[in-house]
Amino acid sequence: MLKIPQCTFCTREAGWVRPWDKVKLCKQHFNSQFTKKVQRTINKYKLLKRNDKIVVGLSGGKDSVVLLETLKKLQRGHQTELIAVTVDEGITGYRKDGLKFAKNAAKKAEVEHVIVSFEEKIGVTLDNLLTKFDMSNTKRLGACSYCGVFRRKLLNETSRDLGADKLATGHNADDEAQTILMNVLSGNVLKTLRSLPEPQLKDNAFVPRVKPFRWTSEEEIVLYAHFNNLKYQETPCPNSLEAHRGVIRDILTNYKEKSPGVIFSILKSGDDIINLNPTQESSGILNRCINCNEPSTKLICKACEIQNQLQEI
Residues that bind ligand SF4 (CB under 6 A): 89, 143-144, 147-148, 237, 239-240, 243
**Residue among 23 and 222 whose Cβ is closer to ligand SF4:** 222
Tell me if 15 sits within 8 A of 30, measured CB to CB.
yes
Closer residue to ligand SF4 (CB): 125 or 192: 125
Minimum distance of ligand SF4 from residue 41's CB (angstroms)? 23
In this structure, what DSSP letter does residue 74 have? Answer: H
| Closer by beta carbon to ligand SF4, 273 or else 303 | 303
- Select from 65, 133, 121, 129 the least CA-distant residue to 92: 129
Residue number with CB closer to ligand SF4 (48 or 143): 143
CB of 167 to ligand SF4, least distance (A): 17
What SS3 class is residue 296?
strand
Tell me how far apart the alpha carbons of residues 282 and 296 are, in angstroms, rounded to a whole number. 15
In angstroms, the Cα distances linking 291 to 268, 300, 307 are 38, 6, 11
* Positive or negative: CA dihedral 207, 66, 245, 146: negative
Shortest Å distance, C-beta 147 to ligand SF4 = 3
CB nearer ligand SF4, residue 47 or residue 87: 87
Closest separation in Å from C-beta 89 to ligand SF4: 6
CB 106 → ligand SF4: shortest distance, Å?
A: 19
Name the strands in the sheet holding 209-210, side by side, starting at the edge strand that comes first in the sequence.
112-117, 81-88, 53-57, 166-168, 209-210
